[in-house]
């Protein structure tokens, strides 16, 4: 199997966490390669602004997709590496308590919330009045912090071992992260720090509402489901005629089918729809058509 095939297989069969990491890596490579080629031909590489979130509302109206694209874009390797490592560590922990769909939903909502905080702050606070034009936001930090805060609210005393610090309770990692962002809202990276706070708010609201039985990521996951359904091949219907079984065989088969569906539904409760195998998804689909 070639490297290309291995990457394709890993992406296709991997969890949503794996896919999020691959997307961040892929966008970084595309931006980096394109910028290098443009620089060789002495072409202004400012085209990367089309994937970064602008503080200026007029500019945003021309590039509305940047409220999503910015949270997957990085131009510095250290920035990318830090965000990916944090996403991997805390994403795995997140999946211990929530489903894979929740992870994608919160990643997006955390990023959107961070973007909204960023834009509003640049229009509200006089400190940023002369910086609105030409200011852009990029990076997955807001999304990652939303995941960290969500897990910290859900399991505040969960122990995490950190290099040089030893064992630290998860709540302190989240609290320190939020405090550091608050203290740096007037720094050279003010936009990023403000976006972190927006992501933290989204993470808290997700975990708090989840405890009350509601899920703020449900709406965005419904949109994603409908979007990806557009690209799914519709299964061809095949009509078969079987000899009717006797009552005993029929009842036995029905019981086995019902037991299998009950098992699948219980698995969805524990790990979400994406935790099902291909065969289990087919069984569930067939059952829904009866």
Mean pLDDT of residues grouped by 10 in the chain (290 residues)? 70 87 95 88 78 95 96 93 96 94 96 97 94 94 97 94 85 95 93 97 96 92 86 62 59 76 77 73 68
d(CA 280, CA 267): 10
Give the tokens for residue 149: 């805060």
Determine the Cα–Cα distance for residues 262 and 268; give it in Å rounded to an integer. 10
Specify the residue for token string 């994937």.
51
pLDDT at 280: 77
Alpha-carbon distances of 182 from 12, 147, 246, rounded to whole Å: 39, 18, 72
Sorted by sequence, the CB contacts under 8 Å of residue 104 that are 6+ apart come out as: 16, 20, 217, 221, 224
What is the C-alpha separation between 210 and 212, in angstroms, rounded? 5
The encoded tokens of residue 102 equal: 């929740």
Res 45: pLDDT:
61
Q: What are the tokens at 19?
A: 């896919």
What domains can be seen in the chain, in order of their start residue?
3-225 (1.20.1540.10), 238-288 (no CATH)
| List of long-range contacts for 10-14, beta carbons under 8 Å, 24+ apart | none
**What are the residues whose beta carbons fall under 8 Å from the beta carbon of 190, sequence distance 6 or more?**
121, 127, 128, 184
* Its pTM surpasses 0.75: yes
What is the H or E stretch that residue 208 is in?
A: helix 190-211
Sign of CA pseudo-dihedral 208, 209, 212, 215:
negative
Is residue 227 within 8 Å of 219, Cβ to Cβ? no
What integer pLDDT is reported at residue 47 of this predicted model?
A: 72
Question: Can you give the pLDDT at residue 286?
Answer: 73
- pLDDT in the model for residue 257: 80
Sign of CA pseudo-dihedral 273, 275, 277, 278: positive
Joined together, the tokens standing for residue 181 give 């962002």
Q: For residues 251 and 281, what is the distance between their CA atoms, to the nearest angstrom?
A: 23
Task: Please tell me the predicted confidence (pLDDT) of residue 14.
Answer: 81
The answer to whether residues 71 and 145 touch, using CB atoms and an 8 Å cutoff, is no
What is the pLDDT, as a whole number, of residue 206? 97
The pair of three-digit structure tokens given for residue 240, joined into one six-digit string? 């078969």
CA pair distance 117, 280, nearest whole angstrom: 41
pLDDT of 12 reads 76
C-alpha dihedral sign at 219, 222, 224, 230: negative
């Amino acid at each position: 199997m070639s490297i290309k095939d291995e990457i394709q297989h890993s992406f296709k069969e991997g969890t949503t966490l794996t896919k999020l990491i691959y997307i961040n890596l892929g966008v970084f490579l595309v931006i980096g390669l394109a910028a290098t080629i443009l620089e060789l031909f002495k072409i202004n590489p400012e085209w990367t602004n089309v994937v970064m979130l602008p503080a200026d509302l007029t500019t945003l109206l021309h590039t509305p997709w940047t409220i999503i694209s910015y949270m997957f874009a990085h131009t510095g390797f250290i920035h990318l590496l830090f965000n990916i490592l944090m996403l991997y560590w805390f994403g795995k922990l997140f999946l211990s308590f929530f489903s894979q769909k929740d992870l994608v939903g919160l990643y997006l909502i955390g990023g959107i919330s961070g973007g909204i905080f960023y834009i509003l702050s640049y229009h509200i606070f006089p400190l940023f009045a002369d910086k609105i034009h030409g200011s852009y936001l990029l990076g997955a930090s807001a999304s990652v912090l939303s995941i960290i805060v969500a897990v910290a609210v859900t399991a505040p005393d969960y122990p995490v071992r950190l290099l040089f610090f030893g064992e630290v309770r998860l709540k302190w990692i989240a609290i320190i992260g939020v405090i550091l962002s608050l203290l740096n809202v007037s720094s050279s990276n003010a936009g990023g720090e403000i976006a972190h706070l927006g992501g933290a708010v989204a993470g808290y609201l997700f975990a708090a509402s989840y405890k009350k039985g509601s899920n703020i990521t449900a709406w965005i996951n419904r949109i994603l489901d409908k979007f990806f359904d557009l690209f799914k091949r519709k299964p061809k219907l095949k009509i078969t005629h079987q000899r009717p079984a006797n009552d005993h065989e029929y009842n036995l088969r029905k019981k086995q089918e019902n037991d299998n569906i009950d098992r699948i539904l219980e698995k969805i409760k524990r790990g979400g729809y994406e935790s099902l195998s291909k065969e289990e998804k087919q069984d569930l689909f067939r059952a829904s058509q009866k």
